[in-house]
Amino acid sequence: MKRWEMDAPGRARLRLNTVAIPEPGPGEVLVKVAAVSLNYRDKQAIESGGGPAMKFPFTPASDLAGVVTGLGAGVTRFAVGDKVLSTFSPGRLDGPGHGSARVAPYVMLGGTHPGVLAEFVAFPADWFVRAPDTLDAAEASTLPCAGLTAWTALVEYGPVRPGQTVLVQGTGGVALFGLQLARAQGADVIVISGSDEKLARAKALGATHVIHREREDWVEAVYRLTADRGVDHILELVGGAHLGRSLEAVALHGRISVIGVFEGFTVTGSSIPLLLKEPTIRGINVGHRRGLEELVRAVDRLGLKPVIDTRYPLADLPAALEHLDRGPFGKVVVESR
Amino acid sequence: MKRWEMDAPGRARLRLNTVAIPEPGPGEVLVKVAAVSLNYRDKQAIESGGGPAMKFPFTPASDLAGVVTGLGAGVTRFAVGDKVLSTFSPGRLDGPGHGSARVAPYVMLGGTHPGVLAEFVAFPADWFVRAPDTLDAAEASTLPCAGLTAWTALVEYGPVRPGQTVLVQGTGGVALFGLQLARAQGADVIVISGSDEKLARAKALGATHVIHREREDWVEAVYRLTADRGVDHILELVGGAHLGRSLEAVALHGRISVIGVFEGFTVTGSSIPLLLKEPTIRGINVGHRRGLEELVRAVDRLGLKPVIDTRYPLADLPAALEHLDRGPFGKVVVESR
Amino acid sequence: MKRWEMDAPGRARLRLNTVAIPEPGPGEVLVKVAAVSLNYRDKQAIESGGGPAMKFPFTPASDLAGVVTGLGAGVTRFAVGDKVLSTFSPGRLDGPGHGSARVAPYVMLGGTHPGVLAEFVAFPADWFVRAPDTLDAAEASTLPCAGLTAWTALVEYGPVRPGQTVLVQGTGGVALFGLQLARAQGADVIVISGSDEKLARAKALGATHVIHREREDWVEAVYRLTADRGVDHILELVGGAHLGRSLEAVALHGRISVIGVFEGFTVTGSSIPLLLKEPTIRGINVGHRRGLEELVRAVDRLGLKPVIDTRYPLADLPAALEHLDRGPFGKVVVESR
Amino acid sequence: MKRWEMDAPGRARLRLNTVAIPEPGPGEVLVKVAAVSLNYRDKQAIESGGGPAMKFPFTPASDLAGVVTGLGAGVTRFAVGDKVLSTFSPGRLDGPGHGSARVAPYVMLGGTHPGVLAEFVAFPADWFVRAPDTLDAAEASTLPCAGLTAWTALVEYGPVRPGQTVLVQGTGGVALFGLQLARAQGADVIVISGSDEKLARAKALGATHVIHREREDWVEAVYRLTADRGVDHILELVGGAHLGRSLEAVALHGRISVIGVFEGFTVTGSSIPLLLKEPTIRGINVGHRRGLEELVRAVDRLGLKPVIDTRYPLADLPAALEHLDRGPFGKVVVESR
């Protein structure tokens, strides 16, 4: 079978090797990978390493949709033929995951654990959930990280009430899931982008309002669009000092879910709106397996279709990564076909 | 009657004037002030003004305990002789108060509204609540701001479970109410201070652990005291870049209530613990009238005694303010006697 | 002006009298009534009295939409020309309302307080909220009781997650608001009725599944439709022993909102599902003013259109009440025209 | 080793047999049992069977404290020498457990699964948690069912605020844990009993008020003791029609945790207080493993000492069961010594 492997960090070290199909050990399932959804984090892991626990040869990526083709001893959770998704943080079934104040939980496929850019993987059965019935493999592969991150923010932690306003920054994978899930909960959604074309597509996808970030100050635009009331829930996908702008835009007792780190790893903002408006700020670490199971059910019930910008064959991973560099509208997926 | 008044910002402009006892208008009560508790914010208002809405002559301070001595037309909420407390934010009965994303709620006695450093005040009956039965006036006067701030953080927004750990920074009024309320909810409490004497007093008041901030790194001390588990709820009373340290000390899915601004009006911290540990950060804007009513009931039931460092007669306000400069253990109160 | 009045309980005692237009007192507004929505409770009040505090001459009904035409002294909450709705429980701004364990809160227009079946009413400004922009008066008049009851159950107390299942019993006003609000939150909705025609209309309104209660056991049908998972949130609109059936149908950790009393004033059910599935049962007492304000905003944002079965002119109240006897699909409204 | 076994339902069929010490299989631990706490449910299982899944020979009881003395293959959760507690519902790690609306979760040691009245048991490591440091084995053995039931009601589902009032019915194991945990959260506690001696002991244990149920109507007594405000949280330990009395006694927006079934398996009550006071009623199915871990931490931090009425040697199980018949004050424990 084929598997992408690297012997050192750096995009140039990616090789599509031919290796033996793995054997599922006790408690494991063998899964034939149908599609892998790429995340911004995968680019970072490929370029600069997946963290201190990274081992070489390293296979990147965390989010797969596939079919169970073999069962290790003692597996009852799945049967051969079941369509499945991987979970981003292996072993995090519910709650905050394993870790402490000093050593925070940081485990993921294609990082601290092996990745999924391969034709087959053999992992513990507990690391998978059943795939939705209504999506093809490429669509389904976008749920474990991008979909679940938006779900954790908007449903698990921050239920959104009908009539509230949600704001998403940009039109990447988490942003568009946020747009779709917020609309499904009856909220108005504001999308910010620097591209007229992307704003038009966001509008077509259901955005209530769009703001071109270079044409006007987005916080002033929020005040205008909400009659000064502000935004009830912001998906803070930029990070860094941008949190300060979100604190200006947030409504009284609103919520800011911190997800992105594009503007650096130090968040800053003014105490004044934080103290006076009493918003809740919470970081989002993707989510747990129960959340992914709930998202799968919701996707089937809602008929929600994840937005895929482009699908690439497995061998074209380099082109897919270059697409990620350019900033896709929604997700970039690599398919085994 | 006597009333402290200023004709311009600056501590030197404080005058204890003799003025007419006010008449309660329709819906107002006349209250004979027995005690006024001073807050750090009062110092700021006296020195640099109470905000854009400040009007002169200005009377500072927000927190009084007193007795109703007269009723305006239509008042049914109180009777003459009722012991009452002022509410910090007049008219905020429940929820976030009045304001918008653009113009956040910012109303308080001794700031945007008249202050209480006087022998009598006449205010709307809705601005008062019944005082506790078990406290004297000086003790009761500490509830409207310092007590309610700790209550809002630890009870209204962040219920604390038995066996959890709460950390308070310093030994001012909010910190000591935090210590007492967290202990009353069954939590361990860690107190940080730079004074051995204050730490000994905190210990006597019920602190489970104390950390001298100059003898060891307080975050490392927290890891040591909690076996790396971290703190479930931090009252962030320092503010500014100190938030970053609290993000290191907080437990998985813990909570940081931002209250203080001693290190400036820009909070900063690392995204890494914010994303991985998924703590909740929330600013605290004192609280609402329902919260104060609940606190009053709790104080009576628990037998909780607010900690007063020193009581000064009304005429000695300057000495009381100098005491505030030095950093009291608990509250400084001015009494009419 | 015209006003419906009774000098004693009994439908035959209803008289459409001509009386003077009331004068708004201090703090009151004069409202020209455009539409009044009738509730099942109004029938009870007319037939057997509105409770111990009922005074004669008695005017029934609680839910109006109208326009402010006059202001009493000191009113700032509204201006002449504002479109407004009444609040069902006058003076309940937020939280549980006023009352005790012994004397539960029981206040409503057209019961303990005067009713609204008149061309004009003069009530305190605090008893009104702004009407939605997107509804006509008849539609808007259905929000204060039927709409708010469904909102309180499904949004204020029991947030519904996308992908969950909500069940409503019957096709009355609360049931259809429940259907619409649950769909707006991304839930599947099951409707039970004994009429094929009403089920077809519920389906057209968005119901995911319908059950004809005389063709099959509805609990078995729920098991079939949900693959035994059960219902996450049940609006229990029948009451009495029917609660026991809802306990069978509810999902693990689901919720039952008790609203109706058609099968009597004693609820009964088996302890077994109550203990093992740990559902939450909660009674719904309509709701508070903040909830109505949120509902109004949601209605405007969602474009939600309340379902009115038939509109009657004010003079045809008797025909409207007979329609209520027969069980309308949605609401029956009386209009001043 | 010794193990209590029955070949058919009925107390007379209990035999203390000598059997081989079991071998821990893969993933299992061998635990030397130090103490077993008896529950009312154990009496029912012994007398009338532990449910449809009961298999003979049957060993009763669910709650043990002991020491790990052997490890099956692959166990990393514990080491030999670790002090442990059993979990009541094996495999329920968090959330509602496994089941559906049709087939509710019903699994427990000494019922659907083997019991613990033996000198050794070999069970999966996942079925145990670490024991508290501050309790002896007999005290610790009371946590898995009685302690956790009170914890789930008062902490996991129904956080209690300082100054609120909690009511417990009787002085059995759950009632006294409820008393202790509610006091630890800063609540007033009312205890009802028909025995002056038990009321005196409850008072000594911290009860704020006691009511002798035969000397006065307990609901009227609650009104008197709370100035009509009622009780914020009731542990409904009687069940059946007694729920109706609890609905009378509960405060506005209070909570009733249904636990006991002494008055039968059909709960009944009036809709009127349910609708008007909007209390929350929720059944309690003991709890999950995460809850037990939190309770263990809380017990150690609080210094909470479970109340044991009498300790019996393992061989004296019949006498211990007779003591259960008479209604102990707190728990009856059987020790291996």
DSSP state letter for A118: B
Q: Assign residue B155 the CATH number of its domain.
A: 3.40.50.720
Residues 146-185 in A contacting C (C-alpha not used; CB under 8 Å):
155, 159, 161-163, 181, 184-185
State the alpha helices, DSSP H only, in chain C: 40-48, 137-140, 148-151, 173-184, 196-204, 218-225, 242-249, 271-277, 289-302, 317-326
Maximal CA-CA distance, chain B = 62
Contacts of C among chains (3+ CB pairs under 8 A): A, B, D
Do residues C229 and C103 both lie within one domain? no
- Quote the minimal CA–CA distance from D23 to chain C in Å: 33
Tell me phi and psi for residue B2, to 5 degrees.
-100, 145
How many beta-carbon pairs under 8 angstroms link C with D?
Answer: 167
> What distance in Å separates residue D109's CA from the closest CA in chain C?
15
> B121 and B162: one domain?
no
Contact A252, A230 (CB under 8 A): yes
pLDDT of residue C51: 66
Do residues B269 and B160 share a domain? yes
Q: What does the angle CA A206 – CA A210 – CA A216 come to, to the nearest 5 degrees?
A: 180
Query: B–D: how many Cβ contacts below 8 A?
Result: 60
Minimal Cβ distance to A294: which of C155, C161, C297: C161
Considering only CB atoms, which chain B residues are within 8 Å of D251?
Answer: none
Maximal C-alpha separation, chain C: 62
Chain C contact for A297 (CB, 8 A cutoff): yes
Asked if C10 is an interface residue toward chain A (Cβ–Cβ < 8 A), one would say no
Cβ of D302 and B186 within 8 Å? yes
Whether C105 and C89 have beta carbons less than 8 Å apart is answered as yes
CA distance A103 to chain B (A): 8
- Inform me whether the C-beta atom of residue B290 falls under 8 Å from chain C C-beta atoms: yes
Partner-chain contact A95 D95, CB within 8 Å: no
Q: Which residues of A touch B100 (CB under 8 A)?
A: 228-230, 251-252
Chain C residues with CB-CB distance to A135 below 8 A:
none
What is the mean pLDDT of the segment spanning C227-239?
97
Phi, psi of C115 (to 5 degrees): -95, -175
Domain, as residue range, for A209: 147-283
How far away is chain D from the Cα of C264, in angstroms, using its nearest Cα? 8
- Spatial separation of the C-alpha atoms in residues D39 and D109, rounded to whole Å: 12
| All residues at 6 or more sequence positions from B7 whose CB lies less than 8 Å from its CB, including other chains | B13, B15, B56, B57, B58
* Mean pLDDT along residues C202-224: 98
Write out pLDDT tens, residues C183-195.
Answer: 999 999 999 999 9
CB contact under 8 A, D275 and C282: no
> What count of residues does chain D have?
337
Joined together, the tokens standing for residue B284 give 């605290």
Give chain B's residues under pLDDT 70. Answer: 50-53
CB contact under 8 A, A271 and B99: no
d(CA D91, nearest CA chain A) in Å = 13
List of chain A residues whose C-beta atoms are within 8 Å of the C-beta of residue C163: 294-295, 297-302
> A-chain residues within 8 Å CB-CB of B165?
none
CA–CA dist B321, B312 (Å, integer): 10
If residue B139 lies in a helix (H) or strand (E), which one and from where to where? helix B137-140
Residues C23-51 have pLDDT tens digits of 999 999 999 999 999 999 999 999 987 66
Q: Is residue D42 situated within a structural domain?
A: yes
Q: Is residue C298 part of a domain?
A: no
Is A301 a member of any domain? no
Nearest to C282 among D252, D273, D278 (CB): D278
pLDDT for residue D214: 96
Q: What is the CATH number of the domain that holds A78?
A: 3.90.180.10
Best mutation target among B277, B284, B286, B288 (most A Cβ atoms within 10 Å) is B277
Residues A275 and A320 in one domain: no
What per-residue confidence (pLDDT) applies to B218?
A: 98
Same domain, B49 and B67: yes
HEC readout, B229-245? CCEEEEEECCCCCHHHH
Q: Is D51 part of a structural domain of the chain?
A: yes
Helix axes C173-184, C289-302, angle to 10 degrees: 60
Element (H, E) at A242: helix A242-249
Q: Over 70: is that where the pLDDT of C52 sits?
A: no
D276 touches chain C (CB under 8 A): yes
End-to-end CA distance of chain A: 13
Rounded Cα distance between C9 and C14, Å, is 9
Strand-pairing partners, residue A2, are A18
Give the separation between CA A175 and CA A195, rounded to whole angstroms: 14
Those chains having 3 or more beta-carbon pairs within 8 angstroms of chain D are A, B, C
Does C137 lie in the same domain as C43?
yes
How many Å lie between the alpha carbon of A137 and the closest alpha carbon of chain B? 29
Q: Print burial letters for D111-124: b (CB count within 10 Å at least 16), e (below 16).
A: bbbbbbbbbbbbbb
Contact partners, residue A109, CB within 8 Å, separation at least 6: A61, A62, A63, A86, A88, A90, A115, A116, A123, A127
Length of chain C (residues)? 337
Sequence letter at residue A154: L
**pLDDT tens across the length of chain D (337 residues):** 999 999 999 999 999 999 999 999 999 999 999 999 999 999 999 998 766 667 889 999 999 999 999 999 999 999 999 999 999 999 999 999 899 999 999 999 999 999 999 999 999 999 999 999 999 999 999 999 999 999 999 999 988 999 999 999 999 999 999 999 999 999 999 999 999 999 999 999 999 999 999 999 999 999 999 999 999 999 999 999 999 999 999 999 999 999 988 888 999 999 999 999 999 999 999 999 999 999 999 999 999 999 999 999 999 999 999 999 999 999 999 999 7
Three-state SS at D5? strand
Task: Tell me the shortest Cα–Cα distance from C49 to chain A, in angstroms.
Answer: 37
- C-alpha pair distances (Å), D157 with each of D153, D286, D288, D304: 5, 12, 12, 20
Residues B243, B163, single domain; the answer is yes
From chain B, the residues in CB contact with C95 under 8 A are 94, 290
| The predicted structure's pLDDT at residue A52 | 64
Phi-psi region of D68 (alpha: psi -120 to 50; beta: other; left: phi over 0): beta
Structure tokens at C38: 């009738």
List all chains that touch chain A, counting a touch as 3 or more CB pairs closer than 8 Å.
B, C, D
Report the alpha-carbon distance of residue A199 to residue C65 in Å, rounded.
Answer: 39
Q: How many domains does chain C have?
A: 2
Domain match, C189 and C93 both: no
* Beta-carbon separation of C298 and A184 below 8 A: no
Are residues B154 and B118 part of one domain? no
Contacts of B290 in chain C (CB under 8 A): 95
Q: Are D252 and C104 in contact (CB under 8 A)?
A: yes
| Structure tokens belonging to residue C88 | 């069902």
Find out whether B233 and B255 touch, Cβ atoms under 8 Å.
yes
Which pLDDT score is estimated for B213? 96
Low-confidence ranges of chain A (pLDDT < 70): 50-53
C79 and C132 share one domain = yes
**CA-CA distance, C167 to C231, in Å (whole number)?**
7
3-state DSSP helix/strand/coil percent for chain D, to nearest 5?
30, 30, 40
**Cβ-Cβ contacts under 8 Å, A297 against chain C:** 163
| Residue D134 near chain B (CB below 8 Å) | no
- Alpha-carbon Rg of chain C, whole angstroms? 20
Strand partners, D281: C281, D256
**Whether D98 and D216 share a structural domain:** no
Same domain, B221 and B115: no
Mean pLDDT of C82-103: 95
CA distance C206 to C179: 8
Query: Quick one: closest CA in C to B95, which residue?
Result: C94
Label residue A263 exposed, middle or buried (CB < 10 Å: 0-12, 13-18, 19+). Answer: middle
B300 in a domain, yes or no?
A: no
Q: Are D92 and D107 in contact (CB under 8 A)?
A: yes
Look at residue C174 and tell me if it is in a domain: yes
Spatial CA neighbour of D275 closest among C89, A95, C133: C89
Whether the CB-CB separation of C84 and C69 falls below 8 Å is answered with: no
Shortest CA gap D207–chain C (Å): 21
Mutate to test the interface with C, among B94, B98, B126, B156 (most CBs of C within 10 A): B94
Q: What is the pLDDT of residue A51?
A: 66
Q: Is residue D104 domain-resident?
A: yes
Asked if residues B123 and B117 have their Cβ atoms less than 8 Å apart, the reply is no
Nearest CA distance, B290 vs chain C (angstrom) = 10
Residues 38-97 in D contacting C (C-alpha not used; CB under 8 Å): 95-97
- Predicted confidence at residue C144, as pLDDT, reads 98
- A186 and C184 within 8 Å at the Cβ level: the answer is yes
B296 assigned to some structural domain: no
Task: Report the chain B residue with the minimal C-alpha distance to residue C290.
Answer: B95
Task: Indicate the DSSP class of residue C314.
Answer: G
